[in-house]
Amino acid sequence: MIAPTMLIVLAFSSGQAGPGGGVSDAQLADPYVDGSYGYTIRPPEGWHVIRQRVPEARGVTLLRMVHQIDRKKIEELLLKQTSTTRQAPMGEMLREIHHALQLEYSNVEVLSQQVQEIAGRPGALIAATFWREGYQWLRLEAIIELRPQQYYVLLYNGPAERRPRSEPLFHFVLGSLRLIKDRLSPAEMDKALTVGKQWLADISAEDMRKAIIPEQYLKIMLDGAPIGFVRIQQGPGTSKGNDGIRIRERGWTFESDGRIRRLQSNMFVSFDRHSEKWKTSVTTLVPAEGMRPAYIENALEEGLRTQDVLLTSQAYQIGQPVTENPAREVPDTYVARALVRMLPQLIGDLSRPRWLAFVEFDHQRVDMVLRVVELKGVGNPTAGAMRDKAYRIEQREGLAGEPSILYVDEEGRVLMVKAGRLTMLPAKAAALEKLFEARVTAADREMARLEKEYEDRQRRFVPRRRSKGQQKP
C-alpha cells in the first residue's frame, strides 16, 4: 500500500524449480507472478521479459521472453492463455497443432509428441522443425488444460541448431510453471468489488484533507540489511484549476550487484476524484563490468485522467520514443493511485476485518489489473515488541497474487511493510542521511555525468540547421 512503486522496482522473490534436463537452476531468473491470471513462471536468466498483454482472436499473450542471439536471430518463449470452440482430447489437440504448422510453414518435421500431465493438469507436448526465410527453426509447444476449452500454452521458437541447449531450457521453464489457486470465490470477489466501489463513493474532500500525513521516511532492507530509503510527502495541491491531494515519493536503493536505482514519483488526485495525473521515473546506474563502461537505464510512466477517460504512456529504454497507449474509459471500480497510497488513513475502522477490491492501470501490462485488499484487524509482527497497536493490511494483485503486508498504527502511519525478502521500516531523516548521504551524492553525480555524455552523443547525430544565406550544395 505504501510506496508500491518501490516494491515494483525491487521485485525480490524466491521460487521452486522443476526438472531441467541438464540445465542448472542458475539459468532461470526469479519467478514472475501474475496474480490476475493465477500463475507463476521463471524466465531464463538474462532474457528480456515483456509483460504487455496482447489480445488475440481466441485468447491473450500473457508474457513474452526474448533472447537476442545475434544481429539477425532471436529466440523467444511465449506464454498464452487460449480457448477452443469445443472440448477435445489432448491427442486431437496435438494433431491440430501439427496441421496448423503444416499450413503455415514448409518442410515441417515432428520430432516428438506426447500426452502427459503438466503442472498437475492434463497436458501435451510437441517438438517440430520447419523452414522459414532460408533458416531451419525449432518449435517447442506445451499445452495445459486450465478448465474445459481453456488452456495455457508455452511456446518456443528459435534456430534449430540450438536444440541441444534450448530444449532442456524449455522444459526447465515449463517445470517452473505453477498454477495458483484463487483465494476468493467469484461471489466473495463480487462482494469485495462492491465494498471497494462504496468506499470510493463515500470518500469526501474533508476525509482526504484529514488523512494527509505530511512526511514519512522508510528504510528499505533486503534480508535484514539496509539497501536504501524512500521519502513520502503528502499535502494539498492544485492541477489545472482542480484542488486535491499531491503525493511526492523520492527514493534510492543500492543493490548487491552494484546497481543503483533512483525513484522519482509525483501523483495528484482531485477532491472529487474526477481528475488525476501521475509521473514516475526510475533511473538505474549499471556499474562497469570488464571492458563495458558504466551506463544508465531509465523507465518512465505517465498517466492523466479527466472524468472517465484515462490517457497513459510509458518508455523503458533511454533514447527510445515514448509509447502512447490508446485512451480508455475507466470502470466505476477504478481507483486513483494517490488514493491507494492513502488507503490506510481513509479506510475507517482498522480493527474490523473485511475485504475490498478495485482496479488500477498497470503500465507494464498496458491493462487494468485487479487489486485486492484484506483488512485483518489487530496484528503485531514482532510479538509485542512494537509500542503502538498494529493493524495488519494485506494487498495483492488479483485473486491469486502473493501479498505485500502492511502494519499501521491507529492513524494509518506505517509501522512495517513486508513483501517477500523486502522490509520497510520507519526511520528518521538524520539517521538515513548518515547512512546513505555519501552514496547518494556520488551516485547523483555519476548519473548526471552519464546523462550528459548521452545527450552530447545524441547532439552529434542531429543535423545542424543552415543559416539563411547558406545554399544547398
Cell of 233: 510527502
Residue 408 makes CB contacts below 8 A (sequence gap 6+) with 344, 350, 390, 391, 393, 414, 415
The helix/strand/coil state of 98 is helix
pLDDT < 50 regions, the chain: 2-23, 383-385, 471-473
Q: What is the pLDDT of residue 387?
A: 59
Per-residue pLDDT, 111: 93
pLDDT of residue 246: 97
Order across the sheet with 32-34: list the strands.
32-34, 39-41, 178-179
Give the pLDDT score at 386.
53
Bridge partners (DSSP) of residue 55 are: 60
* Per-residue pLDDT, 464: 55
What is the per-residue pLDDT for 24?
55
DSSP 149-183: TEEEEEEEEEEGGGHHHHHHHHHHHHHH-EEPPPS
Structure confidence at residue 3 (pLDDT): 43
122-135: per-residue pLDDT in tens? 999 999 999 988 88
Q: Specify the DSSP class assigned to residue 403.
A: P
Q: Model confidence over 222-231: pLDDT tens digits?
A: 999 999 999 9
